[in-house]
Structure 1
Amino acid sequence: MKYTGGPMTEAMYYVLLTLMNPSHGYGLMNAIAEVSNGRVNMGPGTLYGVLARMQKEGLIVLMESDGRRKTYEITSGGEQALRHEYSRLQALIKDGKVLKEGEMNE
């Protein structure tokens, strides 16, 4: 199963974003909370489900495992998908400018 593109879930986006620096599960949970300014708190069940799916899709790889702690890193395909999603999200924000214009006209 390879990643076919399309909009990412918020969980996928933040996992890839934080994996720009390789990390293990517990570190990822903390990094996601930090990067999102506490807006996204991902529990272990959600995180490990997303990690397994993204590994199957070739977006991330298991870098090392010492039995208990598994360290993951983003692949070049994962980084490309992340950058594509970032551009898509920027376009959504740009398209929403009508809301700001509407506020100014009130």
Structure 2
Amino acid sequence: MTSAVFYVLTALTDEPRHGYGIVQETEALSEGQVQLRIGTLYGVLDRLAADGLIALDREEAHQGRLRRYYRLTGGGETALAAEARRMASGARIAARRIEARRTEARTPPAC
């Protein structure tokens, strides 16, 4: 799962959002690390919808334009939870190895 997909799914966990709202929430959640362009976003949304991870929640007219709101599906929540567990496991492994390396660096060589 790419960072963009991870943060798009995460942005939809609390409420349905329209495209621009997803872009803003994704940027905020990622602390600016993921900055989606609208064109890129709709490609991601189309793929996620085709995979059943998100669904169209509703459409609303806003200033003469149609806004589509998307929501996370049960399958999307399951996929996001699995990815969060995978990432957390990877972070724990990396942290243990970093700590082991630091411990080795502090240990004086045997005489």
TM-score (norm 1): 0.87
Alignment match of 1:50 (pick from 44, 57, 61): 44
Note the C-alpha offset of 1:37.
1.0
Partner amino acid for 1:69?
Answer: R
Q: Percent identity?
A: 37
TM-score (norm 2): 0.83
Aligned length: 99
Which residues of structure 1 form unaligned runs of 5+? 1-7
Which residues of structure 2 form unaligned runs of 5+? 106-111
**Structure 1 stretches of 4+ moved >3 Å:** none
1:104–1:68 distance in 2 versus 1, CA, 3 Å: farther
Give me the whole-angstrom Cα distance separating, in 2, the residues matched to 1:104 and 1:50.
43
1:33 aligns with 2:27: yes
- Give 1 or 2: higher strand fraction: 2
Aligned Cα RMSD in Å? 1.2
Decide which structure has the larger Cα Rg and report it.
2
Note the C-alpha offset of 1:10.
1.1
- Paired residue secondary structure (1:37): coil
Partner amino acid for 2:8?
Answer: V
- Higher normalized contact order (CA 8 Å, seq sep 6+, divided by chain length): 1
